[in-house]
Chain A
Amino acid sequence: DGGITQSPKYLFRKEGQNVTLSCEQNLNHDAMYWYRQDPGQGLRLIYYSQIVNDFQKGDIAEGYSVSREKKESFPLTVTSAQKNPTAFYLCASAGTGRSNEQFFGPGTRLTVL
C-alpha cells in the first residue's frame, strides 16, 4: 500500500533531551514537509524539502532540525532548544507536478515530561 508512515505514534521526552521523529513515504514524492499542530491553532510549517539533500526553514524552525538523505525519508529532530515541544507533529509529502496535492501521515504526539 502506498502512503506515509510516522513513528512512533506517541513519544515522551524528558526536558533537555533530543528526540527524533520518523517519517517515511513510498509515494515517490519529491517534496516532504513537517508541521506542528497545537490546540486552537492551525498547522504551522516547521521545515520542508523539495528534493534530496536540500531543505528550507518554515515558519517555526527554531529548536528543530531535519535531514533529507533519501527521497523516502525526512526525519525531524526536536532539540532541547525547543522551548515548548509538546504538540502533535504531522509529516506530509507531495509530488511536484501541477496539482501538488499534499498527503499526510498519521502523526506523532510528543509530550515533554
Chain B
Amino acid sequence: KQEVTQIPAALSVPEGENLVLNCSFTDSAIYNLQWFRQDPGKGLTSLLLIQSSQREQTSGRLNASLDKSSGRSTLYIAASQPGDSATYLCAVRRGSGGSNYKLTFGKGTLLTVNP
C-alpha cells in the first residue's frame, strides 16, 4: 500500500527566504506526482504535476523535483512572500497509469511566511 509522508508538518520562515518542502513515498512505481496548495477552508489548487519520466517542473517561483528511485520529491519556493502562507500537499498516482486515476495524498506541510 502506497504511503505518502510530508516533513515537516509545519514550517515558519521570514519573508524573502528560499525554502524546500519534502514529500516521500513508499512505492517508487508511480505514474506522476502532483503538488497542491490549500488555503484555510478552501479547496486545493494544483501547482505542479511531474510525470514519472521527468526530473523537475517549474512554474514561476516554484520548482518541483522528483527522484523516483529514492521515493522523494521536493517543492522549492524562491523568495517566499506572506501570500505563500498555506498548506502544501503532495499526491502520487499509482504506477500502472492506464485506467487507474486514484491519488494518494500526504497530510501536508503548513507554511507560514512572516512579514
Contacts and interface: CB of A to CB of B under 8 A. Distances in A.
Interface of A: 4, 6, 31, 40-43, 45, 48, 50, 58, 88, 90, 92, 94, 96, 98-107, 109
A59 B92 CA distance: 16
Contacts of B32: 99-100
Contacts of B41: 88, 107, 109
A89 to B, nearest CB: 10
A92 B91 CA distance: 13
Q: Which of A48, A90, A101, A102 gathers most chain B CB within 10 Å?
A: A102
Contacts of A48: 101-102
B44 interface: yes
Interface of B: 4, 31-32, 34, 36, 41-46, 49, 51, 89, 91, 93, 99, 101-103, 105-108
A4 B31 CA distance: 24
Contact of B106 (A6, A42, A104): A42
Contacts of B43: 4, 6, 90, 104-107
A42 B105 contact: yes
A38 B101 CA distance: 22
Contacts of A58: 102
B102 A45 contact: yes
A6 B42 CA distance: 11
9 contacts: A31-B101, A41-B107, A42-B107, A90-B43, A99-B49, A103-B46, A104-B45, A104-B46, A107-B43
A4 B34 CA distance: 18
Contact of A106 (B31, B42, B99): B42
